Amino acid sequence: MLSTVNTIPLNDEGKEIMKRGTPGFPCNAYIGDIHNYIGGEISLHWHSELEMFVLDEGMVQIIFADHSYVLQPGEGYFVNSDVLHRIICNTDQPCRYRSIVFDQSVISGRTGSVFDEKYVSPFVKGGASSWALNQRDAGSAAVISLFNAAFYACELEPKGYEFTVRDAMSKIIMLLNGHKEKQAVRVETMQEQRLKQMLNWIDEHYMDKVTVEHIADAAGICVRECQRTFATVIQDTPTRYLMRRRIAIAADMLKSSNAANSEICAQCGFESQSYFTKQFRLIMGVTPKQYQRNVRTNWQTVTGSIHDI
């Protein structure tokens, strides 16, 4: 299954809740441009599924809790389960990508199978948090080639394409396992645990009056340590992250709701509609009303094109 998305739905814990494929085959392929996401980035998030990403155009930075990669066209990454990551553009040019996100059951089968116990579960629980992939390394090039086969199978969905995807992803796991001596063993750092706690708290309380002290208290740390963690991983302050999160949620509501701007403003934690409009324009480049009008115009254009087919 091939999809295009421009937002990452999160639950109250900051964990991605997007549905993948079907219950029988929980796997989805995606295409898109990072610039088209709200705020021009894929915000910090995590998901239980495994993910492989390849950049086709532009330049992006993949940011994790304790490291980051800069990707050029033809390069990519593989990210393990429940790993915090964020993607930002390093150029104003289009940053087009392809990715596959899949549940480990796609290759492990039922829980307790030999594939699960001998290969997949050890990889998920004990493998690295992520792998950078480029064409200059023979092992990485082989992984990217397998990804391409799986992606095109998801895109075209020929009869039996699920076998192609499962085979390619299984081989990728084995190749990455073969490089584990070059990778740090996966350990969720205290910094990552604290950041998840703070992001969880923000997503539960963004509609309230929030201070940096509140955010720091959610992880049991001092304000200075809270600010240092945000600066190190998110490269921003807690206050600006909160503002971007509120605006992203407001933008989603403007796309999917008929609620008045004043109501959305209040639901997203803004006491003043003029301040909401000012911050929305700073982050999104347009006012809330202009954004809503643009989204609806684009949707009508798309649906009209579909009806013309």
Cα 251 to its chain centre, rounded Å, is 17
- The three-class DSSP label of residue 52 is strand
Task: Give the pLDDT confidence of 1-34 residue by residue, as tens digits.
Answer: 667 665 555 555 555 556 677 889 999 999 999 9
Q: Are residues 133 and 10 in the same domain?
A: yes
Among the three residues 182, 206, 241, which one is the final residue of a domain in this structure? Answer: 182
Cβ pair 262, 201 in contact under 8 A: no
pLDDT tens by residue, 188-213: 678 888 999 999 999 999 999 999 99
- Residue 158 C-beta-side C-alpha neighbours within 13 Å: 8
| Mean pLDDT value of segment 140-149 | 96
Instruction: List the CATH number of the domain containing 137.
Output: 2.60.120.280
Q: Is residue 34 part of a domain?
A: yes
Last residue of a domain, one of 182, 200, 220: 182
Are residues 176 and 127 part of one domain? yes
Please give the tally of structural domains in the chain: 2
> What pLDDT does 123 receive?
93
100 and 26 co-located in one domain? yes
Per-residue pLDDT for 306 more than 50? no
**Greater confidence, 283 or 257?**
283
Rama region for 39: left / alpha / beta (φ>0; ψ in -120 to 50; rest): left
Same domain, 9 and 112: yes
Q: What length does the chain have?
A: 309
Range with the largest mean pLDDT of 105-109, 124-128, 304-308:
105-109
Cα–Cα distance measured from residue 285 to residue 278, given in angstroms and rounded to the nearest whole number: 10
Examine the domain organization and report whether 176 and 199 are in the same domain.
no
What does residue 131 show for φ and ψ, rounded to 5 degrees? -135, 130
Spatial neighbors of 161 by CB under 8 A, at least 6 apart, are 153, 154
- 169 within 8 A of 123, measured Cβ to Cβ: no
Please check whether residue 154 is in contact with residue 98, taking contact to mean a CB–CB distance below 8 angstroms: no
**pLDDT tens digits, one per residue of 59-100:** 999 988 878 889 999 999 999 999 999 999 999 999 999 999
> 302 lies in a domain?
no
In a domain, 165, yes or no: yes
Domain-embedded: residue 108: yes
Is residue 304 situated within a structural domain?
no
**Is 308 a domain residue?**
no
The residue from 132, 161, 182 where one domain ends is 182
Judgement on whether residues 218 and 272 belong to the same structural domain of the protein:
yes
Identify the pLDDT of residue 17. 56
Strand intervals (E) in the chain: 2-4, 27-33, 41-45, 50-55, 60-63, 68-71, 76-79, 85-89, 96-102, 130-133
Three-class secondary structure of residue 94 per DSSP: coil
CA distance 57 to 41: 15
Q: Flag the least confident range among 31-40, 138-147, 220-229, 300-309.
A: 300-309
Same domain as 221, residue 173: no
In a domain, 309, yes or no: no
Q: How high is the pLDDT of residue 4?
A: 65
87 domain residue, yes or no: yes
248 shares its domain with 159: no
Residue ranges making up the domain that contains 156: 2-182
Q: Considering the chain, what percentage of its residues have pLDDT values greater than 90?
A: 64
Same structural domain, 85 and 167:
yes
Q: Are 30 and 168 within one domain?
A: yes
Structure-token pair, residue 173: 């796991």
Note whether 25 and 149 are same-domain residues.
Answer: yes
At residue 230, the pLDDT reads 92
The Cα-based distances of 178 to 130, 172, 175 in angstroms read: 14, 10, 5
| CATH for 240 | 1.10.10.60
Q: DSSP string covering 152-166, please?
A: HHHHH--TTHHHHHH
